[in-house]
A and B are shown apart, each in its own frame.
Chain A
Amino acid sequence: AQSVTQPDIHITVSEGASLELRCNYSYGATPYLFWYVQSPGQGLQLLLKYFSGDTLVQGIKGFEAEFKRSQSSFNLRKPSVHWSDAAEYFCAVLIRGNYGGSQGNLIFGKGTKLSVKP
């Protein structure tokens, strides 16, 4: 079955430190992968996406992610965390099907809450 696993429920890092959030997926075909960020009580903002090509993808706010097919992983990284990065981060895989056009179902991991220490 298709699924996304984020093994870390909560991570705390110091401001200015580097960050890596882990994501593993299970999907039979070439995955279309996404990272979203959600501030409390807000909607989700797309950070970056992967669907083909270069396995290192750059996103907004200084984030990047690397797709590793051999490890079924799509980890999110940032070299220097800012206090404003504190939020919930969701990894997601697009489950494609005959839904009309290229639409599908975006399946989310359970999320990783990031706290930032001053």
Chain B
Amino acid sequence: DTEVTQTPKHLVMGMTNKKSLKCEQHMGHRAMYWYKQKAKKPPELMFVYSYEKLSINESVPSRFSPECPNSSLLNLHLHALQPEDSALYLCASSQEAKTYGYTFGSGTRLTVV
């Protein structure tokens, strides 16, 4: 298995809702990432987990809450989002990033109404 799987592919949520994005990989990668990509912009790093511990939080608002339950799973919990949070949320994983790069999932298209 050489893929990163993200669910759901599309999500529409209200500003008072609580939802979660899920990411899964079975490549044995020990680092996992959340990126946010606005339309016509490059991806921007949100969080990095290394060996299931949060190692980078790029000053992301607390309405985004990451969780890494085990080495294969990465969740992003969403609460009280704003319309400007609408974007494509990409998950990625890596083992030796310099050698192999990151493997990205196909993303969750989030719309906040």
- List the interface of chain A (C-beta within 8 A of B): 32, 34, 36, 41-46, 49, 51, 90, 94, 96, 99-106, 108-111
A36 CB contacts on chain B under 8 angstroms? 104
A43-B102 contact, Cβ under 8 Å, with A100-B53, A102-B96, A105-B48: no
Decide yes or no: A103 and B106 within 8 Å by CB, A32-B97, A34-B101, A41-B88 being known contacts.
no
Query: In the complex, are the beta carbons of A103 and B90 less than 8 A apart?
Result: no
* Minimum Cβ distance to chain A for residue B38 (Å): 12
In contact, B97 and A103 (Cβ under 8 angstroms)? yes
Q: Total A-B residue pairs with C-beta atoms closer than 8 Å?
A: 79
Sorted nearest first, the 10 A-B pairs with minimum C-beta distance are: A100-B50, A108-B42, A43-B106, A43-B104, A103-B31, A44-B104, A32-B98, A46-B101, A99-B55, A51-B98
What are some 25 contacts across the A-B interface (CB < 8 A)? A32-B98, A34-B101, A41-B88, A42-B106, A42-B107, A43-B6, A43-B104, A43-B107, A44-B102, A46-B103, A100-B31, A100-B53, A101-B30, A101-B31, A101-B51, A103-B31, A103-B48, A103-B97, A104-B98, A105-B48, A106-B92, A108-B44, A109-B42, A110-B42, A111-B42
**Contacts of A32 on B, CB cut-off 8 Å?**
97-98
Task: Report B107 CB to chain A, min CB distance, Å.
Answer: 5
The residues of A that contact B43 with a CB separation of less than 8 Å are 44, 90, 106, 108
Q: Compute how far the CA of A101 lies from the CA of B100 in the bound complex, rounded to whole angstroms.
A: 14
Closest to B29 in A: A103
Interface readout for B19-56 with A: 1 if CB under 8 Å, 0 if not?
A: 00000000000110100000001111100101101011
Q: How far is the CB of A107 from chain B (nearest CB, A)?
A: 8
Q: Which residues of A contact B104 (CB under 8 A)?
A: 36, 43-45
Is B79 an interface residue when CB atoms closer than 8 A count as contact? no
Contacts of B30 in A (CB 8 A): 101
The reply on B99 being an interface residue by CB < 8 A is yes
Contacts of A111 in B (CB 8 A): 41-42
Residue from the set A42, A43, A111 with the largest chain B CB neighbour count within 10 Å: A43
Q: A44-B43, A105-B56 are in contact. List 5 more A-B contacts (CB 8 A).
A: A43-B4, A43-B104, A45-B104, A101-B31, A102-B97
